[in-house]
Amino acid sequence: MPTIFPKSSPTELLGLLVLLNGHKGSEDVARLADDLDLEIDEIFPSLEYAELLQFVKVVDGRASFTELGQKLVAGSIRERKAILRDQIKRTTLFKTILRALENAPNHELSDDDLAQIVSLTTAAADEAVQNIVNWGRYAELFRYDAEAHRLILSKPAATTRSGSGRSPPSSGATPPGPSGGSRKASSPPSEYRGTGVVPAFA
């Protein structure tokens, strides 16, 4: 079943959820837009993606938290990232990208490789590629090398063995950068809204 491609940044989506939390977890969408001094259609991108990721439900123009949405806003920054990571990994688009990264030489994809994946959707490729990079970096699914224009698969953080003081052997995947990814001393890509349609959760 098709669904709306994410048109908002992680910051915009989380900002909307924090605002909803200030309304005790349930409020009319029009009131939320008023609070942000925005037109109602300007908050739809964040609202639609929040609903896709199962953080809110919208019924008769009223947005309300799901249990997962409540857990997200109550969590620390790292806990929020972990929840977002788990949810976006379930979408067909990000599952496809992660599978391609896992199978690619050195676990890397070029901008052209990513654009080819996006071309299978109805998204505008240039905007969609940038938005995918923003979300994937925020959730620490992959890093982005701005100089080489390549996505690099992030390795899950190693867990120290009890009493050994040592981490498990490396899986061979490219190690992750700092929170949100690293880009060889480059600033992160700017966030802006993409467009398009991709399949919903598989």
Mean pLDDT of the chain: 77
The answer on 63 and 124 residing in a single domain is: no
At residue 33, the pLDDT reads 94
Q: Region 54-68: what's the mean pLDDT?
A: 96
The answer on 28 and 10 residing in a single domain is: yes
Least confident stretch, 34-38, 86-90, 121-125, 129-133:
121-125
Q: Is the pLDDT of residue 120 over 80?
A: no
Q: What is the pLDDT of residues 94-108, one digit of tens each?
A: 888 899 999 999 999
Q: Is residue 199 part of a domain?
A: no
Q: Is residue 183 part of a domain?
A: yes
Query: Which of 172, 169, 176 has its CA nearest to residue 151?
Result: 176
Q: Is residue 194 part of a domain?
A: no
Report the alpha-carbon distance of residue 26 to residue 88 in Å, rounded.
23
Q: Is the pLDDT of residue 169 over 50?
A: no
Q: Is the pLDDT of residue 174 over 80?
A: no
Q: Is residue 66 part of a domain?
A: yes
Q: Which of 38, 57, 74 is a domain's end point? A: 74
At residue 82, the pLDDT reads 94
The answer on 182 and 163 residing in a single domain is: yes
Q: Is residue 159 part of a domain?
A: yes
The answer on 173 and 124 residing in a single domain is: yes
Q: Is residue 144 part of a domain?
A: yes
Q: Is residue 180 part of a domain?
A: yes
Q: Is the pLDDT of residue 200 over 70?
A: no
Q: What is the DSSP string of 35-62?
A: HTT--HHHHHHHHHHHHHTTSEEEETTE
The answer on 67 and 128 residing in a single domain is: no
Amino acid (1-letter code) at residue 2: P
The answer on 101 and 162 residing in a single domain is: yes
133 pLDDT tier (thresholds 50, 70, 90)? confident
CATH number of the domain that residue 51 is part of: 1.10.10.10
Q: Is the pLDDT of residue 182 over 80?
A: no
Q: What is the pLDDT of residues 22-41, one digit of tens each?
A: 999 999 999 999 999 999 99
Percent of the chain whose pLDDT exceeds 70: 71
The answer on 91 and 11 residing in a single domain is: no
> Domain of 27?
2-74
The answer on 48 and 118 residing in a single domain is: no
Q: Is the pLDDT of residue 89 over 70?
A: yes
The answer on 184 and 103 residing in a single domain is: yes
The answer on 97 and 58 residing in a single domain is: no
Q: Is residue 132 part of a domain?
A: yes
Q: Which of 51, 74, 97 is a domain's end point? A: 74
Strand partners, 73: none
Q: Region 187-193: what's the mean pLDDT?
A: 39
| 32 burial level (CB within 10 Å; 0-12, 13-18, 19+) | buried
178 pLDDT tier (thresholds 50, 70, 90)? very low
The answer on 52 and 26 residing in a single domain is: yes
Q: What is the pLDDT of residues 135-148, one digit of tens each?
A: 999 999 999 998 88
Q: How many domains does the chain have?
A: 2
Percent of the chain whose pLDDT exceeds 90: 50
Instruction: Write out the two tokens for 35.
Output: 């609070």
